[in-house]
Chain A
Amino acid sequence: MTDRLRFIWPPILIGVLVLAAWQAIVVVQDIQPYLLPAPSLIAQNFFGDVSLMWGTAIYTATTAFLGLVLGTIVGVIMAFLAQRFIVVNNLITPLAAGLAAVPIIALTPILNNMFSITSRTPRVLVTMIIVFFPMLVNVTRGLVQVQPVQLELMRSMNAKPRTVLRILRVPNAIPFFFTGLKIAAPLSVIAALVAEYFGGPQEGLGSRIASSAANTAYGRAWAYVVAAIITGLVFYLVTIALERWTTPWADRSRSA
């Protein structure tokens, strides 16, 4: 417990110091809110209507979560196919790399035209495509990169390819899955939020940040940014908790 406290205190202390310095600079230098609002102003907006913050964050988090789940499912399925069929692998890898190079978010306005104006679907689709790539790459790696000696061992024990998949490849891929998920989870929040900048329903953190800034409500815009940071952090921390719970054997690398 004291160990944990030792880890937690320094970042908190630094955070408080930075906030204090920030507040002092804004007050002393009389910096205008559109340049940099004081922490006190942001806090005032944030705690002024917590339920609004919560509801707005929930909308974006829901988009992110749906995109994350769907993108993960598709990525994992594709990874299994890529592992099983070299043809699929040769087809998917350049395709996935190509997709990763396209600024997917820029497609949002086009997708928006395909669905009704109140629809969340275009945002979920964009998030899903963005999540798909790190999941595919990492899970494929985990399924393929098993120690050659472990494969020889499985063969010496007369294991069929399906058994090798179940006994060796899938468990081997689980830490890789979480490596992918740790990238994909915060990314899904960013994707869902940025997708809101490109039209569609005026809901969610992205839409509100944009509209608050347009209405010169800078304190409020920043309060939404804080909510967005918290949302991303929650996604990341939940992923880490899930990882610790499902892969206790990886404790070695964590305690080291």
Chain B
Amino acid sequence: MTDATQTAVLAEGVWKIFNEGQLGEVTALQDIDMTVQTGEFVSLIGPSGCGKSTLLRVIADLTEATRGEMTVAGVTPHEARQKQLYGMAFQQAALFEWRTVRRNVELPLELMGWSKDKRRERALELLEMVQLSDFAEHRPWQLSGGMQQRVAIARSLAVDPPLLLMDEPFGALDEMTRERMQNELLRIRRETGKSIVFVTHSIPEAVYLSDRVVVMSPRPGRITDIVPVPLGADRDEDTRESDDFFHAVTAVREALRGRVGGAEARARIGEV
């Protein structure tokens, strides 16, 4: 047993079966064991339909596990949602177009009953962090896709939750923007020390961002491997061209192909 208070997310034997015992029964998650340490960056990777989003949604209490135990920051997912212990970002920025950028960022604070002035102050602070101060009073649709996603990230950070849950947040962006956003996210993580669970289907993205990459198999979604990424805390554009990066990418790729352990590549990244 891991000490629950030290972990951001703890899953023990989690199953998710949609329509159990009915005609369209789908086993989306099978016997998931996973730990995310406080302050850790963990990516979930796997082919589409393997249950990445479902796992994230169980953590967020957007859906309930069929079996097993899920603990978020030491409490149940339901309690974690009620106490707003996590912030969430999706592939679509999901901004409300009738609100200005600033008032979109204020939304979680508004729901928690913060006063107008405090909300405003906090939102402007967050917009500065994502370098969008000049766009506070713009409408969402006046912003590019990457900028909209930065607003969504600022919003997910609004209540200063210890945990961020991100479901392919850069999935709809072009490659250039995407790499810039990855650098931004690493910077924000350094500045805030959040624990992050990040869903992606891009191998380089998972490797570049994560401390560990959780590899999932196609349906029924199981964890087949967990690949550590020993690239250290300070990563920049040069990291993407380093041998260690290349080896870690290979290790994840092998794991995805079902080579148990990807032993050879792992030896090269100095695990084993």
Contact = CB atoms under 8 A, between A and B. Distances in A.
A171 B98 contact: yes
Contact of A157 (B57, B107, B139): B107
Contact of A158 (B91, B92, B110, B111): B111
B60 interface: yes
Interface string A214-256: 0000000000000000000000000000000001010110000
B149 to A, nearest CB: 13
Nearest to B109: A157
Interface string A149-187: 110110111110001000110011010000000000000
A138 B62 CA distance: 29
Q: Dominant SS at the A interface?
A: helix
A153 B111 contact: no
B84 A158 contact: yes
Contact of B97 (A155, A156, A249): A249
B18 interface: no
A32 interface: no
A167 B90 contact: no
A147 interface: yes
Interface in B60-77: 60, 62
Interface size classification for chain A: 20 to 34
Determine the interface band of chain B, counting residues with CB < 8 A from chain A: 20 to 34
Contacts of A147: 92, 94
A157 B94 contact: no
A171 B96 contact: yes
Contacts of A172: 98
B141 interface: yes
A157 B84 contact: yes
Nearest to B78: A158
7 nearest A-B residue pairs (beta carbon): A156-B88, A149-B94, A171-B98, A249-B98, A149-B92, A252-B141, A153-B94
23 contacts: A147-B92, A147-B94, A149-B90, A149-B91, A149-B92, A152-B62, A153-B88, A153-B90, A153-B94, A155-B62, A156-B86, A156-B88, A157-B84, A157-B107, A157-B111, A158-B84, A158-B111, A163-B111, A167-B96, A167-B110, A167-B111, A171-B96, A252-B139
